[in-house]
Chains A and B, each alone.
Chain A
Amino acid sequence: MLNSRAGKFATTIGTLVVLLAIGSTISSIRAQSSGTIESDRGTYASFQEALDASLNGDVITVTSGIHTGNFVIDKSISIQGVGWPEFDGGGSGNVFTVEAPDVSITGLVIKNSGNKLNTEDAGIEANALGVVIEGNRIQNTLFGIYLKQAPFGVIRNNVITGMDLEVQRRGDGIRVWYSSDTVIEDNDVSLVRDVVLWYSERLTVRNNNIHQGRYGLHFMYDDDALVENNRLTSNSVGAFLMYSRRLQMIGNVVGDNRGPSGYGIGLKDLDDAYVKGNLFADNRVGAYVDNSPRERDSTVEFIDNVFVLNDFGVRLMPSVKRNQYTGNSFVDNQEQVQVAGRGTLKENDWAVDGVGNYWSDYAGFDANNDGVGDVIYKSEKLFENLTDKHPNLRLLTFSPVTQAVDFAAKSFPFVRPVPKLTDPYPLVQPGTVPGLLLDEKQFAWKTLAASLAFVGLAGLVARIGSTKGDHPTDQKEVAIPVVPSEPAGGNVIEVKDLSRSFGDVKALQNLSFNLAGGEGLALWGNNGAGKTTAIRCILGQVSYEGSVSICGIDVATKGKQARAKVGLVPQEISFHDDLTVIDTMRLYTKLRKANHNEGSALLERLTLAPHLSKQVRQLSGGLRQRLALAIALLGDPPVLLLDEPTANLDAAARQDFLALLEDLKAEGKALVFASHRPGEVLRLADRVLLLDQGKLVAESEPEELMTRIGALPKMRIEVGLSNVESAMDALSHDDFKTSRNRTGVYVTVAPGAKAMPIKVLVDAGIPVVDFDLEGTGKGDIDD
């Protein structure tokens, strides 16, 4: 028994020894695998031999293989990898140390440097000028690329992945140190500590993707840098930019940076910084500004940026002066602008040359349609002011206390806060940001952020459940009410004595109507008649007199719940053109907390499935409108609100779109739409409200109104005297409006159905001798 066990033990040991020997052999073969190494001097068995034999200007081409060691490049040579040869530092020191100028390293896999911070072990450390490091994969190195007093370098198109260490124990993916005129572009850097750029002038940092680190970019003492079209995402801080002059930061995407400070960008002691066209999305703080500018005769300019869904759009230290903000969009940030302490920011400009910023919580109006709100924007929420000064109170955010405090401030002017900022020229439409491309992994925030898709809607948005806007009519929402699931009395919309004035202008006066599911109601009138105002009131976007309820929910007091019952299709759709169709739908699915499958099903239903991977910019007008409708239908709202829904479509697209709306109406959706197209009204409306200068001047059936205004053509059909009576009977039987004309009949014909009366008569056996159209109507029948 004992012998048997001993035998098994010996066998096991023997097997292990054999396996270890095989493993060791494989490992040895792998370590010694040199691939092919050729240079201008000949062919070599090892890279080190080739290196030793090289002269300035040589090219060493390394084809595959594994090369272990720490290599010092002290001649001006080029090293070109073919088939991704691996250079392995073996876990100590630098893999490459470059000590000669004009060295080029391309196409290599460089990995396993040492991991000591005090010796700053790196994949490539360069101490000479003009070094080009391009198209390499740098993996598991403490520092990736370190230019130390190495100006005029190029770091391009490398993929750098750091060591799997706690962030404070990692090195920097790229460190540029006293290395002016360096170009850093098209790199992907992840899982490192920072990208550090210090003491270097005229840097170009372009098209890099830097993610999952601590500081995406950390600038200090870098005058005249250009930071352009980078993506700084999912870091603790997107970019901290300090002690520099004339920085230009343009077209970057900065999102999901939510570390302890969570700044998208932090500006500290910067002079003449120019920040334009960037997207700051879903950060704790979109932009933090401290002591910038610091010099008396300099400024900091924020132009055409978008701050969306950050906890704080912009945070400024109270001493900050001479910041200029123009053309920016502040969209649904929990707090659009924060003063970190006591102060009013009044020494900063919130509009330049008559151009202010878009504020999603703006409650004003634009009566003359010049794109600029007619009342100034004031940020004067008492609760915000209190939390700015006493951050401990922030724990009460989203509690009923917030609304109660702000309500008190509005009700009792003596506690109304001093506005922390005023924008005299607020924009009524948000801007967009160029340069967004999405990938699936980072979709979550980008879809939120890139959401300028429909930011046009953000102002109008009906049903974004997470909207944090502060509509005037929302301010009484201090608790979650019990929402009736079915409309009372069968009406899904009940409007009574609805009035709205802008100053002395009465935009809407005593409008009343009800609408049931499956009905269509058209708002008809010239520009300025009050159609859009009525829609905004129904959405609870502006305060009003009278009452509006949707599915029994009072819009004035429970605006968000009411808006959840409405799908909106606006006239102007501000999609983000760089997003694909599927990404756009994902965005809104998430924003509206809808089911993912529902979004897919809607795209399928609206025949958008073949276009999922297209960017929105590639869609025709008709497809864009379908996408807008698909989004409006998320959550299956019982009411669709459409503002000139086919105004921008060609005839064919218009017909398709109207057919879709007809189907939806037949399924029970209530449609309310503003229109000036008779064809649209005739196909979709059961009733028309004719508005003029804010007053309801008539309510009628569509045909009646169209006839009254001369919008419908009449067809004169010659059937012979003996057939006139039977022709009128047949046509009336099919609901045509007819009148007699001696030997023929007049028939009012609807757009798209001009042949129908002829068919009716032929089917009834009544010979049609001749026919003619009299007048095409004043309106645009458009069919």
Chain B
Amino acid sequence: MLKDVAFPAVREKLPEMLDLLSNEVDPHILQDKWRNRLRVCFEEILVNICDYSGSDKLYISCELINNNTFRFEFSDDGMPYNPLEEAPEVDVDAGIDERRIGGLGIFLYTTIMTKMEYNYSNGRNHLIALKEFSCEEVD
């Protein structure tokens, strides 16, 4: 379990943040596919906070609940901003010419996670991600 582990909100710290989350999560997950998918989500969420929140620090929490659901919380002290409201439509059937360059990151984490929530409280943005696995996917 990780509880409000603080990092400077800069890209240079991203490898450390990803390692911390991997060390916490990977031993419980049986499929490389899901380890990889979660890492994709973590990278996107953390990079967005580092690049756009304006916060000096970000905070990471992670816990396994009910033996098969991970709850991740990413918070920062930046201006109130709900990334889930900004999610652009991504047409996965579009051809090369029609494809838009942006929007893939948020599309990925909202697709991969079971549930995403945002709130602003106590002077912080809180982005909460729940990922429920089947019994075959976690140990």
Do A and B come together as binding partners?
Answer: no
